[in-house]
Structure 1
Amino acid sequence: MAGEYVLSDLEKWSEQIEALIVQKGLSCYEQQFEICSYEDMLCYEAYVGMPAHYPHWSYGKAYERQKTFYSYNLTGLPYEMVINSDPCIAYLMRDNTLLLQILTIAHVYGHNDFFKNNRMFKENTRAELTVEMFKTHAGRVRDYMADPSIGPKKVERILDAAHALRFQVRRQGEGKPPGKADLAKESPDEIPDRLQSDLLWFLSERGKLAYWERDLISIVREETFYFMPQVETKIMNEGWASYWHYTLLNELNLPQNLHFEFLQRHNLVVRPHEGQLNPYFIGFKMFEYLQKKYGQEKIFEIRQQERDQSFLRRYLNQELCEELCLFKYKIRGVDIVVAEVADEEGWKSIRDDLVTAVGLGMAPEICPRGVEDGVLVLEHIYDGRELEMNYAKETIKYIAELWGGRVDLKTKLNDRDKIIRCTEDKIVSVWDI
């Protein structure tokens, strides 16, 4: 027995869902499900879903944190976890009810279709190599840890720095590695185009690092490109999966008791969240609206072509802003003041602010600009949002660690040009330009 059902019941409903998927025109990888305990689900969540991943203290910390929160009913566990791989792997928690397993299976197939067909995933990942890539990386990291001349502390020092900088990579894909002729043309004192928007790659090539340190950075960088499409499509991906679990379960002729639980569970998934945006809610409502307005063929096209920023900019209109009750607020002293509402004047401002806050828009872009007498000069691509100084001061220390010398970061604070400087001894200061 699994929960309050037998596995044959689950297989029967899964077969019906698979038949509906074909009928509706979804195109998926082969799907594999694994039923696991809640302890296993905590582990998979901590290790970002991978059946094999390199060890690092942050994963253990994440596991203990989630386990504590779950034990005190401060948070729930995810109903499922899906890996963008071919075949696609998904974990179902054993304690889920039969209806929750049915809903989750349908939801998983929505993710599967999105992974296979959205251009961000097609351009940046190779699903058939995913599991093997993570296993290979884990083996290399463990080998360095086991090497008496290196050891775990030195490995974690480099991984800590690389993790802090993991999204400082080329945002439109990995780019082609240079050939020998290309490298011969590059000057040590100039930064080639391929590295100007890829700080992590720059540091791995130009920093004062040993071969194994460069390899660790390349591992983190390669895995970042695997996760980037998921970051860039969170609203679309969850909205698409939610739209399809809702559509499919409404056509399954569920018994009344299961249908009632389905409505409850679905509403829990897509309900608005107090104090923050629920990507399931935004994405589901948008795809539901777009299907009614433009038809099924159009939403399949949108699913294939867009990422969150373009999705919101093109399709979040005033009508949807009003339906989703979106508004913009500002902090004034101890008060929170509504600054814009979704009327004819305010909805575009709300949409534009949301566009800048999703995907990699949430991470500042830091680019290498030159090397002057051994000093690495960086530029913060200023878009009206200042760096959070506590994080900036700690992060620049990691850059100096990998560079092996002084680092100057140009930015703006209070509309004035500034330099955040980190010496080789990790002393940080802020200077006027």
Structure 2
Amino acid sequence: MAADYAMHELEEWSRKLEQLVAAKGLTCYEQHFEICSYEDMLCYEAYVGMPSHYPHWSYGKAYERQKTFYSYNLTGLPYEMVINSDPCIAYLMRDNTLLLQILTIAHVYGHNDFFKNNRLFKENTRAELTVEMFKAHANRIRDYIADPSIGPQKVERILDAAHALRFQVRRQGEGKVPGKSELAKELPHQVPDRLKSDLLWFLTERGKLAYWERDIISIVREESFYFIPQVETKIMNEGWASYWHYSLLNELSLPQGLQLEFLQRHNLVVRPYEGQLNPYFMGFKMFEYLDKQYGREKLFEIREQERDTSFLRRYLNQELCEEMKLFNYKVRGVDLVVSEVADEEGWKAIRDELANTVGLGTVPEINPEGVENGVLLLQHMYDGRELEMNYAKETIKYVAELWGGKVELKTRLNDKDKIIRCTEDKIVSVWDTV
């Protein structure tokens, strides 16, 4: 499909948007745009947007899945893809209409401002090193694959295990790496404080691993810290970008034909989904409401300080719950118990449920507790939600793979303390605690 605009038209609208972004107080990294085909967009989506990334079967699987779905009109492609880097890189689909390109450019500037100013991104990533970091990681992985003494199968085995555990890292940032004197003080303790909430780092340092295996795990762990802020701010980030594309395009004096398409496209982006949460919808509605209640200065403060969990707990109120028609439900025996927003208890239950299940709230926290007779002891930080046993059994095998021995995981099932054991031969069993 040929684009319905000349490139100079798009460049002119892009300049207008850039001027408006600065006038509205958004502070962004230098912004670079690349026009790409839908085939390129499929590749970028599969490889998380990076110009260079290490190879792994999961990325090829993601590419083939998206390509098949797109070919049969079962899903669309993202209008754009943005990388948290400095300069900020964004890809635009060549087949987008002129209005859709204008809208996505405005949307990209919202993401750019969020990347540069939200504290999770500032604390956990260095945007100026992003592209080079991923390129260096890709080169190291490819070197190990090409090494005759290692090869692709061994590399894939370690990557599979590391990917399964990629979010079992410190959730508030890495903290500083201790010096030699600090490490010496830690030797009497099996799990020093710096490793207690970072299973992947513990396995990197204490597992029975070759140097190249440790390096691969450290690569996956380092990239996890790049992705965690995005996971933790999905509602805020998409809501912020949607709020700003709406605000900016309303001030662009669009021609009537483009204005009508703008309203149609915007409503498609921020419409509610049946049976699931649309982060664009919830984030947009909340920022729109907060702008009316508190003003732009407060919005910039919220954008800088919060993550999805705190954002929902502090600013999702009964009025917003009613406007967005939110509810939740639980199954008790044969009954379906629904929480509605008609009273304070109802809407707070909905708010708390949402706050507990966004970001890394969906990822169980598993911490190393110690080592006894060569057995690695793990503790599931139980919060009332049980482990999904099929996933737990498979994941503990990956822990045993990296540990190089037996592993035991303490948890709770059906209100009873349990231990999930994995042998060196990857045989998993569940036991009652004594």
Match of 1:327 in 2: 327
SS at structure 1 position matched to 2:386: coil
Render the CA deviation track for 1:56-84: whole Å, top value 9, x for unaligned: 00000000000000000000000000000
Match of 1:25 in 2: 25
Q: Following superposition of structure 1 onto structure 2, how do residues 217-256 of structure 1 map, counting pairs within 5 Å?
A: 217-256=217-256
Render the CA deviation track for 1:131-183: whole Å, top value 9, x for unaligned: 00000000000000000000000000000000000000000001111211111
Q: Give TM-score scaled by structure 1 length.
A: 0.98
Over the aligned positions, Cα root-mean-square deviation in angstroms equals 1.2
1:134 pairs with 2:131 = no
Alignment: residue pair count: 433
Match of 1:83 in 2: 83
Q: Following superposition of structure 1 onto structure 2, how do residues 103-182 of structure 1 map, counting pairs within 5 Å?
A: 103-182=103-182
Separation of aligned partners in 2, 1:139 and 1:96: 34
Asked if structure 2 preserves the Cα contact closer than 8 Å seen for 1:173 and 1:225, the reply is: yes
Matched AA of 1:345: E
Asked if structure 2 preserves the Cα contact closer than 8 Å seen for 1:53 and 1:138, the reply is: yes
1:339 Cα shift?
Answer: 3.6
**Structure 1 residues 258, 175: closer, same or farther in 2, change over 3 A?**
same
Separation of aligned partners in 1, 2:277 and 2:215: 38
Matched AA of 2:293: K
Match of 1:45 in 2: 45
Match of 2:417 in 1: 417
1:345 Cα shift?
Answer: 2.2
Q: Following superposition of structure 1 onto structure 2, how do residues 62-101 of structure 1 map, counting pairs within 5 Å?
A: 62-101=62-101
1:189 Cα shift?
Answer: 5.4
**Structure 1 residues 67, 382: closer, same or farther in 2, change over 3 A?**
same
Separation of aligned partners in 1, 2:106 and 2:168: 35
Q: Following superposition of structure 1 onto structure 2, how do residues 327-366 of structure 1 map, counting pairs within 5 Å?
A: 327-331=327-331, 336-366=336-366
Matched AA of 2:310: S
Asked if structure 1 preserves the Cα contact closer than 8 Å seen for 2:339 and 2:350, the reply is: no
**Structure 1 residues 415, 332: closer, same or farther in 2, change over 3 A?**
closer
**Structure 1 residues 334, 270: closer, same or farther in 2, change over 3 A?**
farther
SS at structure 1 position matched to 2:344: coil
1:186 Cα shift?
Answer: 1.7
Separation of aligned partners in 2, 1:331 and 1:73: 35
Match of 1:296 in 2: 296
Separation of aligned partners in 1, 2:186 and 2:166: 25
Separation of aligned partners in 2, 1:56 and 1:74: 25
Matched AA of 2:307: R
The unaligned stretches of length 5 or more in structure 2 are none
Render the CA deviation track for 1:97-142: whole Å, top value 9, x for unaligned: 0000000000000000000000000000000000000000000000
1:338 Cα shift?
Answer: 2.1
1:188 Cα shift?
Answer: 6.1
Asked if structure 1 preserves the Cα contact closer than 8 Å seen for 2:79 and 2:93, the reply is: yes
Match of 1:393 in 2: 393
Q: Give TM-score scaled by structure 2 length.
A: 0.98
Matched AA of 1:182: E
Asked if structure 2 preserves the Cα contact closer than 8 Å seen for 1:235 and 1:279, the reply is: yes
Separation of aligned partners in 2, 1:32 and 1:19: 15
Separation of aligned partners in 2, 1:339 and 1:314: 20
Asked if structure 1 preserves the Cα contact closer than 8 Å seen for 2:233 and 2:307, the reply is: yes
Separation of aligned partners in 1, 2:342 and 2:303: 26
1:344 Cα shift?
Answer: 2.1
Matched AA of 1:127: A
Runs of 4+ in 1 over 6 A off after TM superposition: none
1:343 Cα shift?
Answer: 2.6
Matched AA of 1:171: R
Separation of aligned partners in 2, 1:423 and 1:208: 15
SS at structure 1 position matched to 2:175: coil
**Structure 1 residues 188, 53: closer, same or farther in 2, change over 3 A?**
farther
Asked if structure 2 preserves the Cα contact closer than 8 Å seen for 1:325 and 1:342, the reply is: no
Separation of aligned partners in 1, 2:134 and 2:176: 21
Match of 1:14 in 2: 14
Matched AA of 2:235: I
Matched AA of 1:280: Y
Identity of aligned residues (%): 83
The unaligned stretches of length 5 or more in structure 1 are none
Asked if structure 2 preserves the Cα contact closer than 8 Å seen for 1:103 and 1:262, the reply is: yes
Asked if structure 2 preserves the Cα contact closer than 8 Å seen for 1:85 and 1:131, the reply is: yes
SS at structure 1 position matched to 2:345: coil
**Structure 1 residues 215, 112: closer, same or farther in 2, change over 3 A?**
same
1:342 Cα shift?
Answer: 4.8
Render the CA deviation track for 1:265-288: whole Å, top value 9, x for unaligned: 000000001110000000000000
Asked if structure 1 preserves the Cα contact closer than 8 Å seen for 2:339 and 2:347, the reply is: no
Asked if structure 1 preserves the Cα contact closer than 8 Å seen for 2:318 and 2:341, the reply is: no
